[in-house]
Every structure is written in structure tokens, then in C-alpha cells.
Amino acid sequence: MSIIRKIFSNSRSPEDGIFFDAIQKILGFKPLNLNNYRKAFTHRSLNKVDDKGNPVNYERLEFLGDAMLGSVIAAHLFNEVPTGDEGYLTKMRSKIVSRDHLNELGKDLNLIKYVESKVSTQHFGENIHGNLFEALIGAIYLDRGFVYCEKFIHKKVIIPYVDIPKLEGKVISYKSLVIEWCQKEKKSFHYDVFEDNGNEGVKYFGVKLKIDNKIIARARATSKKKAEEKASQRAYFAFQEKMSSND
């Protein structure tokens, strides 16, 4: 068996060898099937298909990786916080696997460096980093199974980032907090969203957040969602004492 492995390793192309070394460094163990990892970094813009005509890109692996990540984090929280009810555990898992956090993880590993695409990486949205991180986890599961997948998540996510006391105080959505507070206090609220391009040459959206028909906060960002979240954050800090007392 060792002789066969040597033959295969010697037949690997220089390009495969570079990719193999890069992936091994990221994972901390040897990948067995490089094709799984190639797929994890293949963008749909390449329009690749397999011999059966099925699309080859990272999106299905992203789905699989999301499920693996969620299950490992859920098991960890279940074991670490025996007093936590379903609502608490769900909220804590959401904080750990939030899109912002996954994007940070993908950036830390510089995964975008390995993407094969017809689209320039400069035109990718921020979420590409988190999508690639999930796809990588999916590739690990296909290549080495659940045990290696779990080890990777513990090493890269749980050990360095999961601090339960800190996470308990972490806000993942200011908009949700504002809406919950308005509903509790029976206050009307409205997000007035409009295009606000200015002179930057980039598409921006402006938001005015009204509570009881009064403008409480304004914000602008490159997406409606980001602009609403930014306005909500400003409104939260404006009403922080009142909102905190209702937690």
C-alpha cells in the first residue's frame, strides 16, 4: 500500500503539489482526495460540470459544511451549557455561526486566494469568505468523514473563538433588538430606505429609522440590510438604557 501511495504522490503535478501543501497547512492533516478541495474553491462562473453533466462548484459543499458546522457547534453547546434551554442554545449557536463571524474565519485563512473564477475577486461580496469556509468544511467531511470534520471545527472555531460568557453579551442583530423593544413598548417603527449614491461612484442606500413617527437615526451603506443594521445600532445606543432595562 505504501508503494502505491508513493507512485501516486510522485505522479502529482507541480500545481497539485502546491495546492496539496496549501490545503494540508490549512487543515493540519493530509487531504486524501484533492478533487473535493478543488471543488470547494470552484466558482459557478466557470460553468464546470462532471462527466454526468452535474454542476461542479462550491455551493453544494457550502450547504453540507453549514450543516456539519451547525451540528458540531450544537453538540458543543449542549454539553458545555447543561442549563441552557432550546431558545438559549439556538441563540448562542446563531452567534457563533453568524455570517459576520464566518466571513472573519474565511479571511483569517485567506481562502479567497485559492478560488478559481472567471470573476475578479474584487467583485465578490463580503460573504464569499464565509461561503468558502463552509465549503471547505463540506469538503473535509466528504474526504475524511465526521471525526476529522469535528476536529477541524474544534481547532479553528471552538477553541479560539467560543467564549460562552462573552457570547452571551454579544449582539448579533441590532435591528432585531430595536424591533423587539418597539413591539414590547407598543411603539410604531418604520425603515425608510432609499438610494443614496452621492459622488462616490458606488451604489449606496440610505435609511431613516422612525420610531413613533420621529426620525431617530440615519445611516448609509452599500446594501439595504447593512444600512438598516447601522441605523438600528445608532438607535439602540440612543435608547440603550431603556432597551437594556427591558432585557
Out of 97-101, 122-126, 137-141, 230-234, least confident range:
122-126
Judgement on whether residues 185 and 152 belong to the same structural domain of the protein: no
- Is 86 an active-site residue? no
CATH of the domain at 47: 1.10.1520.10
Domain final residue pick, 134, 168, 202: 168
Could you say which of 66, 143, 150, 229 is catalytic? 66
Judgement on whether residues 32 and 148 belong to the same structural domain of the protein: yes
107-162 per-position pLDDT tens digit = 999 999 999 999 888 888 889 999 999 999 999 999 999 999 999 999 999 999 88
H helical segments located in the chain: 2-10, 14-27, 34-40, 59-80, 86-96, 99-108, 128-144, 146-153, 159-161, 164-168, 174-184, 224-238, 240-244
Instruction: Output 156 or 10, whichever has higher pLDDT.
Output: 156
Measured CA to CA in angstroms, residue 230 lies from 96, 106, 138, 200, 241 at distances of 20, 23, 32, 19, 18
Judgement on whether residues 143 and 232 belong to the same structural domain of the protein: no
State the residue range of the domain holding 201: 174-244
Phi, psi of 210 (to 5 degrees): -105, 135
Judgement on whether residues 78 and 126 belong to the same structural domain of the protein: yes
Could you say which of 59, 134, 143, 163 is catalytic? 134
| pTM > 0.75 | no
Give the CA diameter of the chain.
76
Judgement on whether residues 15 and 86 belong to the same structural domain of the protein: yes
Judgement on whether residues 126 and 238 belong to the same structural domain of the protein: no
Instruction: Output 44 or 121, whichever has higher pLDDT.
Output: 44
Which residue ranges make up the annotated binding site? 62, 131, 134
Judgement on whether residues 113 and 205 belong to the same structural domain of the protein: no
Judgement on whether residues 6 and 124 belong to the same structural domain of the protein: yes
67-85 per-position pLDDT tens digit = 999 999 999 999 999 998 9
Judgement on whether residues 150 and 43 belong to the same structural domain of the protein: yes
CA nearest 173: which of 225, 103, 102?
Answer: 225
Which residue ranges make up the annotated binding site for Mg(2+)? 62, 131, 134
- Is 108 an active-site residue? no
pLDDT at position 5 is 47
* Mean pLDDT score of the chain: 87
Domain final residue pick, 120, 136, 168: 168
